[in-house]
Chains A and B, each alone.
Chain A
Amino acid sequence: DTGVSQDPRHKITKRGQNVTFRCDPISEHNRLYWYRQTLGQGPEFLTYFQNEAQLEKSRLLSDRFSAERPKGSFSTLEIQRTEQGDSAMYLCASSNPDIPSGEQYFGPGTRLTVT
């Protein structure tokens, strides 16, 4: 396993369209996180899963956002009715909660541009 992968790497969409991103975590990691990063800022937490259960959602995650991890492996993040303010890098990370240091490994990100 070479690490966390994300698809697509770039997405350009028109305002009002729906988009879906995919994340494949490191195979033995059962925690999966989504973060959003805007230009000049650090990543901000959106949501996380332990196996297939979504355990926490940030208030940043409006009703237009939904995330799933149906079989406890890959995850999808969908944004409905995109707005220009949704333009950002969407980062996925995974971790193994059995490791006390809890380090998270990040994928390359999906850069979303809403025109």
Chain B
Amino acid sequence: GEDVEQSLFLSVREGDSSVINCTYTDSSSTYLYWYKQEPGAGLQLLTYIFSNMDMKQDQRLTVLLNKKDKHLSLRIADTQTGDSAIYFCAVYPPYNQGGKLIFGQGTELSVKP
């Protein structure tokens, strides 16, 4: 089955750019998502990208997709302390009839003032 991997921690200074990386195993995955989770809370959908796209930009967020390397990244420009959270990559595998998502283990982003 599909496997999704993320690095566990990232620390940046306020105002810098953050880049969170994700790799997945099934190159036929159709949609790929980024979610944000703050302590004790549910998951907030940030953005998504369809597999026929290379890049998607949404305000401070830029998603890059390299299908050949099965690599997805989320860039946050001008990172703020309020961006400190855990970020999850999730994929929608092609064998998936019901739409269940496969999540990575999350990257904890720490933004230092």
A-B contact pairs, 9 of them (CB 8 A): A6-B42, A41-B105, A56-B97, A103-B48, A104-B99, A105-B45, A106-B44, A107-B42, A109-B42
Binds B, one of A12-20, A42-50, A64-72, A80-88: A42-50
Chain A residues lying within 8 Å of B102, measured Cβ to Cβ, are: 45
A91 to B45, alpha carbons, bound, how many Å?
14
Interface bits B38-64 vs A (CB < 8 Å: 1, else 0): 001111110010100000000000000
A97 to B6, alpha carbons, bound, how many Å?
28
> At the interface, yes or no: A22 with Cβ under 8 Å from chain B?
no
Chain A residues close to B by CB (< 8 Å): 4, 6, 31, 33, 40-45, 48, 50, 55-56, 91, 93, 95, 97, 101-109, 111
Say yes or no: A103-B33 contact (C-beta < 8 A), given A48-B99, A55-B98: yes
Say yes or no: A102-B45 contact (C-beta < 8 A), given A40-B105, A41-B106: no
Q: Which of B33, B97, B98, B102 is most buried by chain A, counting CB atoms within 10 A of its CB?
A: B98
Whether the pair B88, A42 counts as a contact (CB closer than 8 A) is: yes
Instruction: Output the nearest chain B residue to A45 by Cβ-Cβ distance.
Output: B100
A41 to B105, alpha carbons, bound, how many Å?
5
Partner of B103 from A43, A48, A95, A109 at Cβ < 8 Å:
A43
A57 to B108, alpha carbons, bound, how many Å?
29
Chain A residues lying within 8 Å of B103, measured Cβ to Cβ, are: 42-44
Whether the pair B43, A106 counts as a contact (CB closer than 8 A) is: yes
Instruction: Output the nearest chain A residue to B92 by Cβ-Cβ distance.
Output: A102
Chain B residues lying within 8 Å of A6, measured Cβ to Cβ, are: 42
A45 to B101, alpha carbons, bound, how many Å?
7
Whether the pair A42, B106 counts as a contact (CB closer than 8 A) is: yes
Whether the pair B105, A42 counts as a contact (CB closer than 8 A) is: yes
